[in-house]
C-alpha cells in the first residue's frame, strides 16, 4: 500500500520524544528558533537541527529565515489537531497513574492549545457559555446561538461575529480535564481577547497561562468563574 508508507513516516516523526517535545513547545502557535527548541527538548543544537530538518521536509513545521535566526512554527492547524489526538490517547494510556507534578498543576489550570485556551479555565469558560446559552455543544460539533452572537458582539469580539456565522466554534476534548473546551475561531478569539485585555499572560518557555487578578475579576463578573479551591 502506497499511502501506508507515508502515514508511517509521519507517525515516526511524532514517535520520538525530542521531536514531540519541540512540537509541543510550538503548540502555542508562536515561532521559535532552533536553539530555543533544542533547549525545550533537552538536546544539543545539532541534534535539534537534524530533527527540525526532518519535520520541515514532512511539512509539519515551516521555517522562515530572518537574519541569522531561523524561526520555526507549526505548519498549520492540522498539525495541532494531530498533536491533540495524540495527547488525548496518551492521557488515556496513563490515566491509571495520576501523576501530578507542580509543573503539571500550572498546565492543568490554564494553557494554550495552539490558538485557544485549554485546561481547567478553558473547560470552565465552555461550561459558562453553554450555561448562558451562547453556544451549544454536542458530540459532533459546537454552535454559536443567535443570542450568543449578540452577546459576543457586545463584548467586543466583533471579528468573530463578522458574518454572523453560527459555525465559528468547535469542541476540543481537553486531555487533562477529559471534557470539551472551545476551539475554532471563537476559541481563538476568546484567547487573543483575554491576552489583549491582560486577563491571562503567557508564562515564558511554557504553554501554561497565568491568570491575572484583573483576569479573575473579569472571569467572575462575566462568567461567574472563581479560582479553584486549592491547587
Partner DNA sequence: TGGATGCTTCGGCACTCACCGAAGCATCCG
Partner DNA sequence: CGGATGCTTCGGTGAGTGCCGAAGCATCCA
Considering the rule CB under 8 A, would residue 6 count as an interface residue with a copy of itself? yes
- Residue among 229, 117, 104, 94 at smallest CA distance from 180: 117
Q: Is residue 136 within 8 Å of 187, Cβ to Cβ? A: no
Would you give the DSSP letter of residue 208? B
Residue 68 near which of DNA, a copy of itself, none (CB within 5-8 Å, type-dependent): DNA
| Nearer to DNA among residue 65 and residue 99 (C-beta) | 65
As measured in angstroms, the least distance from the Cβ of 76 to a copy of itself is 9
Enumerate binding residues for DNA (CB under 7 A).
Answer: 12, 16-18, 33-35, 43-54, 63, 67-70
As measured in angstroms, the least distance from the Cβ of 115 to DNA is 23
Residue 189 near which of DNA, a copy of itself, none (CB within 5-8 Å, type-dependent): none
Residue 51 near which of a copy of itself, DNA, none (CB within 5-8 Å, type-dependent): DNA
How would you write 153-165 as a 3-class SS string?
A: HHHCCCCCCCCCC
What's the grid cell of residue 214? 484583573
Residues of span 143-172 touching a copy of itself by CB under 8 A: 143, 165-170
> Using CA atoms, how far apart are residues 71 and 69, in angstroms rounded to an integer?
6
Considering the rule CB under 8 A, would residue 72 count as an interface residue with a copy of itself? no
The 3-state DSSP class for residue 111 equals: strand
| Nearer to DNA among residue 18 and residue 222 (C-beta) | 18
What's the grid cell of residue 143? 454552535
β-bridge partners, 171:
182
As measured in angstroms, the least distance from the Cβ of 79 to a copy of itself is 7
Contacts of 153 (CB under 8 A, 6+ apart): 161
Which helix (H) or strand (E) segment holds residue 65: the answer is: strand 61-66
Residue 44 near which of a copy of itself, DNA, none (CB within 5-8 Å, type-dependent): DNA
Binding residues (CB under 8 A) for a copy of itself: these are: 1-17, 19-21, 24, 58-60, 78-79, 81-83, 85-94, 99, 101, 103-104, 136-143, 165-170, 173, 175, 183-186
Amino acid at each position: 500500500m502506497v499511502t501506508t508508507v507515508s502515514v508511517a513516516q509521519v507517525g515516526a516523526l511524532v514517535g520520538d520524544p525530542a521531536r514531540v517535545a519541540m512540537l509541543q513547545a510550538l503548540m502555542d502557535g508562536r515561532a521559535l528558533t532552533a536553539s530555543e527548541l533544542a533547549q525545550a527538548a533537552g538536546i544539543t543544537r545539532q541534534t535539534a537541527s537534524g530533527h527540525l530538518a526532518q519535520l520541515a521536509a514532512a511539512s509539519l513545521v515551516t521555517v522562515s529565515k530572518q537574519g541569522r535566526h531561523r524561526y520555526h512554527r507549526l505548519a498549520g492547524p492540522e498539525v495541532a489537531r494531530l498533536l491533540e489526538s495524540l495527547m488525548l490517547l496518551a492521557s488515556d494510556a496513563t490515566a491509571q497513574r495520576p501523576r501530578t507534578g507542580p509543573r503539571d498543576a500550572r498546565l492543568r489550570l490554564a494553557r494554550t492549545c495552539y490558538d485557544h485556551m485549554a485546561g481547567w479555565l478553558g473547560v470552565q469558560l465552555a461550561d459558562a457559555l453553554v450555561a448562558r446559552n451562547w453556544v451549544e455543544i454536542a458530540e459532533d460539533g459546537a454552535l454559536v446561538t443567535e443570542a450568543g452572537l449578540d452577546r459576543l458582539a457586545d463584548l467586543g469580539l466583533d471579528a468573530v461575529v463578522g458574518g454572523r456565522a453560527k459555525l465559528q466554534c468547535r469542541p476540543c476534548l481537553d486531555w487533562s480535564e477529559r471534557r470539551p473546551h472551545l476551539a475554532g475561531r471563537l476559541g481563538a478569539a476568546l484567547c487573543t481577547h483575554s491576552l489583549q485585555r491582560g486577563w491571562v499572560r503567557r508564562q515564558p518557555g511554557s504553554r501554561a497561562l497565568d491568570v491575572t487578578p484583573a483576569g479573575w475579576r473579569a472571569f467572575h463578573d462575566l462568567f461567574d468563574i472563581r479560582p479553584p479551591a486549592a491547587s
